[in-house]
Amino acid sequence: MKLSDDLLQGNTELMAVLGSAIAKRDSDTNSHNYRVTIYAIRLAEALKLNPFDIHRLIAGAFLHDVGKIGISDNILLKPDKLTAEEFAIMRTHVLLGVEIIAHSAWLMGAREVVEYHHEKYDGSGYLQGLKGDEIPFNARIFAVVDVFDALTSRRPYKAPMEFNDAMAILHRDRGRHFDPIVVDAFNVIARDLHQTRV
């Protein structure tokens, strides 16, 4: 039992360290990875996900942007809007992330989030243009909390958005970018999560 606990702790620490390294390289604080992980867990619990899927969601939350390690600084750290060519390169972080975690059976639980968190409910996302239930549920959950945290966080190029304004965007994009069921569940818990953010 102790060995099993030690292995679980070791793997959680490995995901946290790797996610932290990417967050620091991306001019972000490590708080983002912890916030989206906490948000994702709470949302998954509200949606009554089973523990196995929640563990996979945690892995994905920590490692969602791991592929950014392969994106050059002049694109990753650019303070202005990316050109179409630069954005095409930035999008490759999804495939790079899948390639990175493919080398570890322990990290493969993160794949649903790493590979599909930029898909959109209406099929207009990337990389595969999946639509609706074709998108793994963990990725649909993570898309909501990731966008919410990005909107409500300070970044080098923007001030944090007010809670009500961020929620208005989630509701506007309900059924387009986001799964309506997930947005509705998040709506119930979002204010409490935002008020206790780290």
* Positions marked active-site: 68
CA distance 128 to 131: 9
Number of helices followed by number of strands (H, E) in the chain = 10, 0
SS3 178: strand
169: Cβ contacts below 8 Å, ≥ 6 apart: 147, 151, 161
**Cα dist from 164 to 103, 170, 182, whole Å:** 41, 10, 17
CA distance 155 to 62: 19
